[in-house]
Amino acid sequence: MIGVDEAYRIIQENVSALPPRTVGIKEAAGYCLAEDVVSDIDMPPYEKSAMDGYAVIAEDAVPGAELEMIENIAAGYVPTKTVRRGQVSKIMTGASVPPGADSVIKVEETEALGTGRVRLLKEVKWGANICITGEDFKACDIVLKEGKELRPQEIGVLAMVGAKRVKVFSTPRLGIISTGDELVGINKKPRAGQIRDSNSYSLYAQAVQTRAHVELLGSARDKKIEILSLLKKGLRRDIVLLTGGVSVGEYDIVVDVLQEAGVEIFFHKVALRPGKPIVFGRSKQTLVFGLPGNPVATYVNFELFVRPTIRRMMGFEDENAQRMVIKAELEVDIARKRTRREYRPACLRMDSGRFYVAPVEWHGSADLLGATRGNSLLILPEDKNPLSSGDEVDVMVTGEF
């Protein structure tokens, strides 16, 4: 049986970025940039006041000085007067600093005298409260590089440089198939021996969060022709996820069906808990994951293997494709029967700048409600057992905490 890292490596060898496409700026959040973006302007585009106050010559700014106010400059207007010794112009945040002035004194540090004069209460340093033209970036600078994730702050930068449309890597089309004679739709009350198909929906939610185009292709009973018929639809997409039917039970026929459909199998089973029976294969351009049916196994397998695959297809480099793993201090003792790599739903918290982690109450790979108590996956390594309170452990951050 291969280990988690080897499985990850094999999957990533089979992944490449999808072709780029152009999207509008409002659609672009979450995508990976497929081109360098160049600015058409300096930012700021003009000497800009960072404060509401008075544009002044620093040498004139001595406490008690009374100066003549010659103009009132609002944001969006061009100053018309040059500030000379003994003069100031009133100026608003974001307005253009008038010629002659070299500093802005905050309004709180002045006293208006009426009669068009103002008294300064403090001195001001040369250049104070002025943003210099081009100090953030200059015209023709590359502001965002290919490969960058477009978060809200990058979207704002696109807007600053007038990039209304932008080239991004495409997101994969992904199909989800559940298998199992015991499954019923979520609108039905399960009868004896039946269970609602929750995996389709948890996987759908995980995949949608990555921005993949996801479709639930349906639920097949443990019959070759039913699985095959849904699989055929799936193979028209970039990724197919199947759940159930990959263990060693008598009706676990998914691997046979995949092989019959011409899917080349790269591995079946990874030394991992939960989620050991995972299958990975490929048919032409479509990557196929057969995930075990237990809901937490499915969830963990997606986080470990499928999410990074989607993100690599979306153009992200490996380090941005994977979930973040951080070091934390274990808060309890943990002894295990086996030393397989294990991922346990856990609660990660921060206290005085240090991370602490403890497993949440959880009854094993079927207990999805248990997993809702956590905000992370505590990684129990294959080479250390038992673990003691105070040990440093790795934790995969699966969301906000």
- How many residues line the site for ligand AMP (CB under 6 A)? 20
Q: Does 275 bind ligand AMP (CB under 6 A)?
A: no
Q: What would the two tokens of residue 299 be?
A: 């969830």
Q: Are 197 and 219 in contact (CB under 8 A)?
A: yes
- Cβ-in-10-Å burial (0-12, 13-18, 19+) of 182 comes to middle
**Chain positions contacting Mg ion, by CB under 5 A:** 180, 244-245
> Cα(360)–Cα(377) distance, rounded to whole angstroms?
10
> Cα(379)–Cα(396) distance, rounded to whole angstroms?
7
From the CB of 274, what's the least distance to ligand AMP, in Å?
10
When the beta carbons of 44 and 244 are compared against ligand AMP, the nearer one is 244
Q: Is 394 left (phi over 0), alpha (psi -120 to 50) or beta?
A: beta
Q: Does 293 bind ligand AMP (CB under 6 A)?
A: yes
When the beta carbons of 86 and 249 are compared against ligand AMP, the nearer one is 249
Binding mask 155-184 for ligand AMP (x = CB under 6 A): -----------------------x-x-xx-
Per CB under 6 A, the list member of 60, 197, 238, 342 interacting with ligand AMP is 197
Which residues make Cβ contacts (< 8 Å) with residue 187, sequence separation at least 6?
Answer: none
- DSSP H helices, 333-375, are 368-372
Q: Are 279 and 306 in contact (CB under 8 A)?
A: no
Q: Does 210 bind ligand AMP (CB under 6 A)?
A: no
Q: Does 226 bind ligand AMP (CB under 6 A)?
A: no
Q: Does 98 bind ligand AMP (CB under 6 A)?
A: no
From the CB of 7, what's the least distance to ligand AMP, in Å?
18
- What's the gap between Cα 244 and its chain centre? 28
From the CB of 298, what's the least distance to ligand AMP, in Å?
7
Name the one range near ligand AMP by CB under 6 A: 81-89, 193-201, 225-233, 377-385.
193-201
49 is in the binding site of which of Mg ion, ligand AMP, none (Cβ under 5 to 8 A by kind)?
none
Q: Does 274 bind ligand AMP (CB under 6 A)?
A: no
Alpha-carbon distances of 92 from 78, 86, 95, 226, 370, rounded to whole Å:
12, 20, 5, 70, 55
What are residue 123's phi and psi, to 5 degrees? -90, 170
Alpha-carbon distances of 303 from 9, 164, 298, 366, rounded to whole Å:
15, 33, 9, 16
Q: Which of 4, 256, 363, 250 is nearest to 242 (CA)?
A: 256
Binding mask 232-271 for ligand AMP (x = CB under 6 A): -----------xxxxx-x--x-------------------
Per CB under 6 A, the list member of 49, 129, 206, 294 interacting with ligand AMP is 294
When the beta carbons of 247 and 320 are compared against ligand AMP, the nearer one is 247
Q: Does 195 bind ligand AMP (CB under 6 A)?
A: yes
Per CB under 6 A, the list member of 295, 308, 345, 374 interacting with ligand AMP is 295
Q: Which residues form the interface with ligand AMP (CB under 6 A)? A: 178, 180, 182-183, 195, 197-200, 243-247, 249, 252, 292-295
